[in-house]
Amino acid sequence: MLQDIDLQYIGGVPTFGGPVAATAVGATGLTGATAQSRYVGAIASGTAPASGTFLAGDWMVVQSGGIIVCTAGGTQGTWVSITALDTTATDIQPDGAQAAGSTSKAADAGHVHPSLDAALPSDYGMLAWNFDPATLNTSTAMVSETLYLLGLFIRRPVTVAKVWLAIGAQGTGSVTAAGIGLYNSAGTLLGSSASTAWATAVAGPDSVALTVQSGQSLSITAGLYWVGLFAEQASAVVNLRGIASGTSNPNMNLTAATYRFATNGTAVTSLPTTVTPSANSETGVIPFFAGLG
């Protein structure tokens, strides 16, 4: 039952007069509820009251943010905090790096639980990759004028500056044209490079800077993206090191529009500003490595 409250008026403003007892909220009529719960007041901050005698089920408002509940009654009692989102900090950083937790701090929706025994792109100074480069095990020749799409799943907002490749063998033959770009899941080219230097680069890691396409942005949000690349080369021997090719296994249970590895065009002499994701094909697909930096 609600307690009688003695109201006083000071200057026309009602105020509480005298001690006010805890307000008990009965369990009657609530299916499954078997005990009363009392609202016992508020504290300015902290995780437990400094004094007083309380019952299990009592709860308080913390004026700095949050609610605390008494789990064991007694003098001062035992209290737990019902975490409230505090936007001033997060327990787990969005890039997957571990950080010490803080009481009443909630991780944001984009957080990642890092694996303790696996390398992450950030360990390599990258923003994302389509697979760990430690698994690279073979070199496969690109087919001239074929657009290869290499899928990356972005988990948080990032700003992309370049694409990382793994060159398996130095290309030979004259390079008429080459291109590398970043496409979003709608097939829109966000940024690109027309440099041909990577097509004849020596074996090893190589990075290519991207230029933002007109009207687009390389500051991207979470979602599926593709690195697109092609080379128009006389003998089609530009090699990039990738995992086993010629199989649909890397795309298992995915639709064409969400293929992780695909081809999209076989007479490509420049990067298209748009591609049709539903037209993605597994014909000639090669799961090359791609990273973003």
Residue range 255-286, pLDDT digits in tens: 999 999 999 999 999 999 999 999 999 999 99
Angle at 122 between CA 114 and CA 91, to 5 degrees: 45
The band of 25, judged by pLDDT with boundaries at 50, 70 and 90, is low
| pLDDT > 90? residue 3 | no
Q: pLDDT tens across 80-129, in order?
A: 888 655 445 444 444 444 444 444 445 544 455 556 678 889 999 999 99
| pLDDT > 70? residue 69 | yes
Which range is least confidently modeled, 84-98, 179-193, 235-249? 84-98
| pLDDT > 50? residue 76 | yes
Span 143-168, mean pLDDT? Answer: 95
Span 236-255, mean pLDDT? Answer: 76
Comparing CA positions, the residue from 18, 24, 17 lying closest to residue 3 is 24
pLDDT at position 81 = 84
**Segment of 11-25, 212-226, 234-248 carrying the highest mean pLDDT:** 212-226
**Distance separating alpha carbons of residues 75 and 50, to the nearest angstrom:** 10
pLDDT at position 293 = 97
Which phi and psi angles does 209 have, rounded to 5°? Answer: -75, 140
User: Which residue type, as a one-letter code, is found at position 67?
Assistant: I
Residue bearing the bigger pLDDT, 209 or 15:
209
The band of 21, judged by pLDDT with boundaries at 50, 70 and 90, is low
pLDDT at position 237 = 56
Average pLDDT along the chain: 81
Q: Are 213 and 170 in contact (CB under 8 A)?
A: no
Q: And the tokens for 35?
A: 């005990």
**Distance separating alpha carbons of residues 21 and 43, to the nearest angstrom:** 16
pTM of model > 0.75? no
42-51 own/partner pairs: CB under 8 Å, 24+ apart: 43/68, 47/79, 47/81, 47/103, 47/104, 48/76, 48/77, 48/78, 48/79, 49/76, 49/77, 49/79, 50/76, 51/75, 51/76
Q: Which residue has the tokens 């290519």?
A: 208
